[in-house]
Amino acid sequence: MSEETKKNQPGKRTRKVETVRSRAEKSANTPKKSRRLRRTASSAVRPAKILHRIGKREYYLPMPDNRPGRFLNKRRSLIPRYFRDAWAELRLVVWPGRRETWKLTVAVFIFAIALALLVAVTDYGLDKLFRRILT
């Protein structure tokens, strides 16, 4: 579904998903902290995060909705960041249509057949060459 059709649907809110690439570019622009400072800061924040989670009562898992992937986006503290980022990237994929899929499938088969013929001809030629040299 293109961005234009998403915007035209009433009642649908779209939000910009931050990609791994944009996050990496943003983190490259921030000044580097020393390792000691980062370790101290992370250890100071850890108890606050736990209290925040308990305050929101996110220590239990509700049943997922009917929408696939909504469960992955809701429980950020329980799912590793890699899987959340991978899911966000997958949601940005524009899947090809039926016609394009058939074209690409035919192209793959033609390429595979051409490569197999090239390998077979090369194998046959080298076999004849080595037999002539050795005998």
Strand blocks (E) in the chain: none
pLDDT at residue 50, rounded to an integer? 66
- pLDDT tens, residue by residue, 114-134: 999 999 999 999 999 999 998
Residue 122: both structure tokens together: 């090369």
The answer to whether the Cα torsion of 32, 35, 37, 38 is positive or negative is positive
Q: Using a cut of 0.75, tell me whether the model's pTM lies above it.
A: no
The residue with tokens 């030629």 is 125
Say which residues have a Cβ less than 8 Å from residue 55's Cβ, sequence separation at least 6: none
Cβ atoms of 70 and 64 closer than 8 Å: yes
pLDDT at residue 8, rounded to an integer? 56
- Give CA–CA dist 135/132, Å, rounded: 5
- pLDDT tens, residue by residue, 31-55: 666 667 667 766 776 666 666 666 5
Q: What angle do CA 100, 104, 105 make, to 5 degrees?
A: 115
Q: What angle do CA 87, 6, 89 make, to 5 degrees?
A: 15
pLDDT of 67 higher than 70: no
The kind and range of the H/E element at 126 are helix 98-134
